[in-house]
Amino acid sequence: MSMNGDANHERCVNTLRTLAIDMVQEANSGHPGLPLGAAPMAYVLWRNHLRFDPGAPDWPDRDRFVLSAGHGSALLYALLHAFGHDLGVDDLKAFRQWGSRTPGHPEIDVTPGVEATTGPLGQGAANAVGMAMAERHLASRFGDEVVDHRTFALISDGDVMEGISNEAASLAGHLGLGRLVCLYDANDVCLDGPTSWTFTEDVGKRYEALGWHVQTVADGDADLDAIDRAIAAAVAETGRPSLIVVKTTIGFGSPGKAGTSDAHGSPLGEDEVRRTKEALGWPADARFLVPDEAKASFAAAGERGAEARAAWEERFSAWAAADAERAEAWGEALSLTPPDGWDEDLPCFDAGEKVATRAAGGKALNALAARIPFLWGGDADLSCSTKTGLSGAEAFDGRTGAGRNVHYGVREHAMGAIANGMCYHGGVRPFTATFFVFSDYMRPATRLAALNHLPVVSVFTHDSVAVGEDGPTHQPIEHLASLRAMPNCHVVRPADANETVEAWTYALRRTDGPTLLVLSRQGVPTIDRSTHAAASGLRRGGYVLAEAEGGAPRVIVVGTGAEVTQALEARATLQADGVPTRVVSMPCLEAFEAQDEAYRESVLPAAVTARVSIEAGATFGWERVVGLGGRALGIDRFGASAPGGENLERFGMTAAAVVAAAKELL
């Protein structure tokens, strides 16, 4: 039966439109233009195609919907409210207010039914790719009986302008992610004015070139049937991802602002809201109205979803009863609980053995991945350098979901956001890998992982000027300090091979935010743990590695990463000169600062003010450890193209420099 011309379907679309503009006007802040234009495609998707149950928004086999154009959040909240999720009128009225469940951009931990936190444009589009990859991976592990859903995203002109979306779309097309459907709100207007000022490419042809199935709906403002047919065709296209270019009018229905940038990012104003409602055939004075006739249509979708969930639960029960071992693995994956014994008998390295921490990290990762089936991931065309390839595993196949090595190609921007999408989806624990200097490319995704407590593990190798001849473009300087400034992000820079093994287990125990493992290119001597503290001290962030001899410490030397070796050498010299010296390994400042005061005092007693830190990076932030009277040895300029060892020597990353600094303090 045709949806076009049906008064109730039109009423439902206008319900979403008016709820959205009422929210924006109530807050006197927000973006009314996208909801007015995109409401028809969103309604058809949710009403006829999206499989969800408002009573169980976390049902594992639900379809996922990502509003990548997060500035249009009022549309998403209108959808959630109208379709029966736990989001009331009072929540809509509190749009963009302190402590409300309807923040300015969707946040996964705030609003029931929100699948991804989409702030910076393009991130959500890449998140959706990660969700589709996670669905295929889980389907490969557990079968279509329990994993058989799709990922839908609503993207905007701004999303497709951002480079990250092109990286993600390129990978999605290459992988053939046929369960991914993106609806593109092509309204030809951005914040400053018409997109013709800056953006005149044929987006559909671009996506075709990237391997996508592309359709166009010429009248997205009113042709509900065309939207319905296009979504159905996209769902049927299982061999490649689909893009539906939906031509819409931004601010549709607004007599004074439709089709202009004035409708994009500012409230319409009370008078224009009234005029818009009148133009839509809506009661001009009604606010937050959901007509009774519309409620039945909205409820029908939720009822179908509830039936689908009940059928899935019946299938799942039979499946679980038939294979208890796989059912247990399913529970472990959804809760991210590794199997018993996952952290036992891991690689152990002999004292004195010179091992790059990237190499030790690769061995630890492979040992852990062999025991933790839901741990998977990949790198930005660098596995031969980052050592993060999983031995014996195949490359990930986007059609079947088989394979655990994700080859991202040179796409760091998208890699970070895709990994976030995997976490949003659930059931998998992703890792990524690239050179540390390229963490700059991943920073927006890392920030969103921290904001949303996503347990992504990011491996960053080639951690200092010891990169050597590649020069300052590839030598991280400010990166450690910069990432440590990010709330809820733990930066771990282990001192040797055995600390690196501990770093991996620390990262996998931590499930409330991203953990960054920062590893060396060059070989690092393995510390003799028979005469120094155990590497398990890493779990507390910082620990006394070597105690002062001949009395209480007069000097404390704090190091991270490869520079801990220089700290130990300096201690030997200072001890020989009669200066009792303690060495503290500080692989993770965030974990150390989370310890209780008594423990921190036991490691860094306030009475010992002669403190020297050494780290091959910017000194910014080390005053928190060494105090105003201490000395932070580091590198506060960009690097140089020279052999790595010479760089370290010339930049003062030496035991001699530590000794000199300590004696000056004394």
Annotated catalytic residues are 412
CB 608 within 8 A of CB 589: no
CB 217 within 8 A of CB 226: yes
What are the tokens at 655?
Answer: 């035991």
CA distances from 324 to 132, 330, 332, 336, 443 (A): 27, 10, 12, 18, 41
167 burial class (0-12, 13-18, 19+ CB within 10 angstroms)? buried
What are the tokens at 589?
Answer: 């400042």
3-state secondary structure 319-379: HHHHCHHHHHHHHHHHHCCCCCCCCCCCCCCCCCCEEEHHHHHHHHHHHHHCCCCCEEEEE
Query: Rounded to an integer, what distance in angstroms lies between the CA atom of residue 475 and that of residue 618?
Result: 12
Cα dihedral sign for 216, 222, 226, 230?
positive
> How many CB atoms are located within 10 Å of the residue 251 CB?
29
CB 36 within 8 A of CB 250: yes
Query: Rounded to an integer, what distance in angstroms lies between the CA atom of residue 392 and that of residue 409?
Result: 20
b/e string for 415-441 if b means 16 or more Cβ within 10 A?
bbbbbbbbbbbbbbbbbbbbbbbbbeb
CB 467 within 8 A of CB 521: yes
Parallel, antiparallel or unpaired: strands 180-186 and 213-217: unpaired
